[in-house]
A = this chain, B = another copy of it.
Amino acid sequence: MSVAQLLAALASPDPTPGGGTAAAIAGAMGGSLLVMVTGLAKSNTNADGEKAALAEARARIEPIIGRLMQLADADTEAFNAVMAAYRLPKATDDEKAARTRAIQQALRGATDVPLETLRACESAIGDGRVVATHGNRSAASDVGVAIGLLKAAGDGAAANVCINLDGLKDQDYKTAVGRELGELSAKVAAHCAEAMRALA
């Protein structure tokens, strides 16, 4: 899909692709910028240990970019599944029960996908801190943009988790996801603060 087609699809009144897809793609852009900085000929001090740290960060970030692009598509599919479940017939008690089960299953998918996006962004932002510390200073603004995009992507994913979690009935799942959401959000905030300190 071209960038122009993506923008047109986001702008169309169809509910998908929506914010979850845009967030995942923004995260993938952020990850790509971090990879760029790890690939520059010079690092911050050019020390061997620093170059090794950047190479390790790059090896962790690269698969996350592809994962975020898969999640961009998965978000659209998960939301379409929720809408399809809500459109199921509800004339009889059996139909009502089947529809409720389908909605719950679809909402769980629509929660798991942005949760996975948030996990991917948290991981990439953690490595963003490494890139901010050890990367070539001439690319500091690229790292800053990368962190900002990954943070916006993670925040957007977290908001989508919350919305879909609201409609779920499985209390054990809700509790577990709520706890992980809090932990991931705290880690994202801490990584961002450390990265911004390193860039300042």
A35 near B18 with CB under 8 A, answer: no
CA–CA, A26 and B146, complex, Å: 11
A7: which B residues are within 8 A, CB to CB? 28-29, 32, 65, 69
In the complex, identify which listed stretch (A95-103, A136-144, A178-186) lies at the interface while the others stay far away.
A136-144
Closest B residue by C-beta to A7: B32
Q: How many protomers of this protein does the assembly include?
A: 2
Q: Does A3 contact B (CB under 8 A)?
A: yes
Return chain B residues, CB-CB under 8 Å to A189: none
A155 at the interface (CB under 8 A from B): yes
Alpha-carbon distance between A97 and B152 when the two chains are bound, in angstroms: 44
Minimum-distance CB pairs A-B, first 10: A19-B145, A13-B39, A145-B156, A10-B32, A148-B152, A19-B142, A11-B32, A11-B35, A152-B152, A7-B32
